[in-house]
Copies of this chain bind each other. A is one copy, B any other.
Amino acid sequence: MALAMAPVLGAITAPLSDHQILVLLVQLTVLVGVARITGWIFRRAGQPSVVGELVAGVLLGPSVLGRISPSVHQWLFGEPGVTSVAFGLAWLGVIMLLVVIGFETNLGIISRFKGAALASAAGALLVPLAVLVPASFLVPESFVGAGTDRGVFAGFFGLALSVAALPVVAKILLDLDLIRRNFAQVTLAAGMTMDSVGWLVLAALSGVAQGGFRPGALALSMAGLVLFVAATATIGRWILDRLFRLVMGRGAAATPAAVSILLVAALLGGVVTQALHLEAIIGAFVVGVVAATTRHQPPQVRSVLETVTTGFFAPIFFAFSGLRVDVSLLDGTALAWGAGLVAASIVAKLVGGAIGGRFGGIRGREAVALGSGLSALGAVGIVVAIVGLNLGVVSETGYTVMILAALVTSMLAPQLLKAVVRKWEVPAEEAERLRAEELRETSELLGVKRILIPTRGGANSVYAARLVSAVFPETETTVMVVDLAPRSWWLRLLRRPAGSPGNPDEVVAELPRSRMVRKRSVDPGAAIAAEARLGYDLVVLGATETGEGTFNTVVDRILALVEIPSIVVRFPGVIEERGLPGNILVPVTATRS
């Protein structure tokens, strides 16, 4: 037994020599350090920082450092054992990046601008694909990986030049202070749709690249993927939600626990898609998208993951991707082809975005702005390139062209967009919406996302619900009914639950987006306070009917225990049929812990 294990333990015991650890340390220090500094310089220069991080890799790679000092380059990147560890880290970085991107994929925006987004995404993806995939059949042989089918190559190459980089797009729109404009919202929604579709196409392509074009195997992989997405969106979402809810009661330990849950879930998603002969990152992306839709989310998970990814792991990934760019591989022909393809990609995006946008109701200058925004290839193009390189579909030369295309388009897109929007008047009705949204944003109470309405029924609660549905029409609400349980266990066994004096269903009926939770407790106030800790932003209470003063003891106790802002609403008179009374003053108590 002990003997049989020996090789395994031997492998585990000392996988890296002391010298290798030193090289790894220096490599990570240099990669992250240089990437963050160039990223910062690029951002100061008004460029996306991801471009700077890629450039750091190019500088440290064979094109620059390898030329200036081949021996330093060899020392830093010449140890295969070390490089595979750095690769593992870069690869964990891209998994984390995809979880974060997935987390930020707002299904709400996509569904609000459904038609326009789908039409624009289709235009901005299909037109470039229609131009660039055929063009990829004509590019020099030196772009193609050894022994690779031209068709598979054309798929990867064309896809890499047709996708859109959502983070880059969003950053540009944010920087230009356009993010709230109609066309910008459609651009974002279209970008997210293109992202999602892009990942799926990449999944299909990498399946083909690994198994050859065997329709059976491909169909199996795709069926598996559909099943995986469906299972993640239903059972997976339910389990994630339960787990998040479970850990959120645990105070300080909640966030680390939630980070573990999310990352393990993402890895598990990666296992599934990797086992389906697709890419692990697809699984991580799907898990991220689904996790963002769970009802309970410990509030810091998102920002913690984003911070560590932006601050450490994504730079490793981007710099590592840049490392593999070798400009010396580009001769005149390759450069000419590269420039031509970038130009074709941008023009195709503009034309495709404009055509798609027109179908979706976006016209004129706005449609051009939409196409300009979507012309940045950015991170998605880079990932497609790196997967293509790792699978041997694309050669070093082809890879270099793909990365440079991502760099150039990400730098041109903001300039294009700026040129289009210069001296552009905002239409009156849109300006109105923008003002309303800004107001909503700045008002703290109006920024709430989850509302808890504890109730036992009654007119005040109905009124509270009506107020909520008028002020927060799009907010998810939870109606919580706590039935008082007797203190002694034998009474609890003997007596039936007291039930509510009013009818809680009346309250639910007032709310467009609500669900009901029912609990029994000897201390309803404490039960409500415990629920409120699970990530709600606001508690809305109807003042209890029977109270003689303003509020009775239960309401007082809830106000004392609840640690988030709370509003108590008192029914001011006759409720009009389906509507709020006109100018009646609502006695509102807002507390903030």
Please give the residue numbers on chain A whose beta carbons come within 8 Å of chain B beta carbons, in ascending order: 1-2, 4-5, 7-9, 11-16, 18, 21-22, 24-26, 28-29, 32-33, 36, 40, 62, 66-67, 70, 73-74, 77-81, 83-89, 91-92, 210, 255-260, 263-264, 267-268, 270-271, 274-275, 277, 280, 300, 303-308, 310-312, 315, 323-324, 326, 328-329, 389-390, 392, 396
* Beta-carbon nearest neighbor of A85 in chain B: B88
Q: Ordered nearest first, which 9 A-B pairs have the shortest CB separation? A: A259-B311, A85-B88, A15-B84, A256-B311, A256-B310, A11-B80, A29-B267, A15-B87, A260-B311
Q: List 28 A-B contacts (CB under 8 A).
A: A5-B73, A8-B62, A8-B74, A8-B78, A11-B80, A12-B83, A14-B389, A15-B84, A21-B274, A22-B271, A22-B280, A25-B271, A28-B92, A29-B268, A32-B260, A32-B267, A33-B264, A36-B264, A84-B84, A85-B87, A85-B88, A88-B89, A256-B311, A257-B311, A259-B312, A263-B312, A300-B303, A308-B308
Choose one: B5, B7, B9, B328; the contact of A1 (CB below 8 Å): B328
Choose one: B13, B88, B390; the contact of A24 (CB below 8 Å): B88
Known: A12-B87, A36-B257, A308-B308. 10 other contacts (CB 8 A): A4-B70, A5-B66, A12-B323, A29-B268, A32-B260, A33-B260, A85-B85, A85-B87, A255-B307, A263-B312
Choose one: B89, B280, B323; the contact of A89 (CB below 8 Å): B89
- A255 close to B311 (CB less than 8 A): yes
Inter-chain CA distance A300–B210, complex, in Å, is: 43
Inter-chain CA distance A113–B32, complex, in Å, is: 39
**How distant is A425 from chain B, measured CB to nearest CB, in Å?**
30
Inter-chain CA distance A66–B14, complex, in Å, is: 20
Choose one: B255, B274, B305; the contact of A22 (CB below 8 Å): B274
Inter-chain CA distance A310–B301, complex, in Å, is: 13
- B13 close to A389 (CB less than 8 A): yes
- Can you tell how many copies of this chain the complex includes? 2
- A280 close to B8 (CB less than 8 A): no
> Given the known A-B contacts A87-B16, A88-B89, A91-B21, are A73 and B264 also in contact in the complex, defined by CB atoms under 8 Å?
no
**Chain B contacts of A29 at CB under 8 A?**
264, 267-268, 271
Inter-chain CA distance A91–B85, complex, in Å, is: 11
**Chain B contacts of A277 at CB under 8 A?**
18
> Given the known A-B contacts A62-B9, A66-B5, A256-B307, are A22 and B275 also in contact in the complex, defined by CB atoms under 8 Å?
yes
Inter-chain CA distance A87–B448, complex, in Å, is: 44
- B260 close to A315 (CB less than 8 A): yes
- B62 close to A267 (CB less than 8 A): no
- A210 close to B275 (CB less than 8 A): no
- A396 close to B14 (CB less than 8 A): no
**Chain B contacts of A389 at CB under 8 A?**
13-14
* Beta-carbon nearest neighbor of A76 in chain B: B8
**Chain B contacts of A24 at CB under 8 A?**
88
Choose one: B25, B88, B323; the contact of A267 (CB below 8 Å): B25
Choose one: B36, B70, B84, B307; the contact of A304 (CB below 8 Å): B307
- B88 close to A11 (CB less than 8 A): no
**Chain B contacts of A81 at CB under 8 A?**
84
**How distant is A216 from chain B, measured CB to nearest CB, in Å?**
19
Choose one: B8, B33, B300, B328; the contact of A73 (CB below 8 Å): B8
Choose one: B11, B303, B310, B390; the contact of A13 (CB below 8 Å): B390
**Chain B contacts of A8 at CB under 8 A?**
62, 66, 73-74, 77-78
Inter-chain CA distance A317–B32, complex, in Å, is: 22
**How distant is A42 from chain B, measured CB to nearest CB, in Å?**
13
Residue of A304, A315, A329, A396 most packed against chain B (CB within 10 A): A304
**Chain B contacts of A80 at CB under 8 A?**
11, 15
- A308 close to B315 (CB less than 8 A): no
**How distant is A401 from chain B, measured CB to nearest CB, in Å?**
15
Inter-chain CA distance A89–B313, complex, in Å, is: 12
* Beta-carbon nearest neighbor of A15 in chain B: B84
**How distant is A420 from chain B, measured CB to nearest CB, in Å?**
27
* Beta-carbon nearest neighbor of A84 in chain B: B15
- A300 close to B311 (CB less than 8 A): no
**Chain B contacts of A7 at CB under 8 A?**
78
Choose one: B70, B74, B89, B307; the contact of A259 (CB below 8 Å): B307
- A26 close to B271 (CB less than 8 A): yes
**Chain B contacts of A84 at CB under 8 A?**
11, 15-16, 81, 84-85
Inter-chain CA distance A306–B267, complex, in Å, is: 21
Inter-chain CA distance A11–B87, complex, in Å, is: 10
Inter-chain CA distance A210–B78, complex, in Å, is: 24
Inter-chain CA distance A4–B70, complex, in Å, is: 9
* Beta-carbon nearest neighbor of A32 in chain B: B264
Inter-chain CA distance A40–B79, complex, in Å, is: 39
Choose one: B32, B271, B303, B329; the contact of A2 (CB below 8 Å): B329
Choose one: B86, B92, B263; the contact of A311 (CB below 8 Å): B263
Residue of A5, A18, A259, A277 most packed against chain B (CB within 10 A): A5
- B267 close to A9 (CB less than 8 A): no
**Chain B contacts of A26 at CB under 8 A?**
271
**How distant is A253 from chain B, measured CB to nearest CB, in Å?**
8
- B92 close to A89 (CB less than 8 A): yes
- B267 close to A2 (CB less than 8 A): no
- A25 close to B270 (CB less than 8 A): yes
Inter-chain CA distance A13–B86, complex, in Å, is: 12
**Chain B contacts of A67 at CB under 8 A?**
1
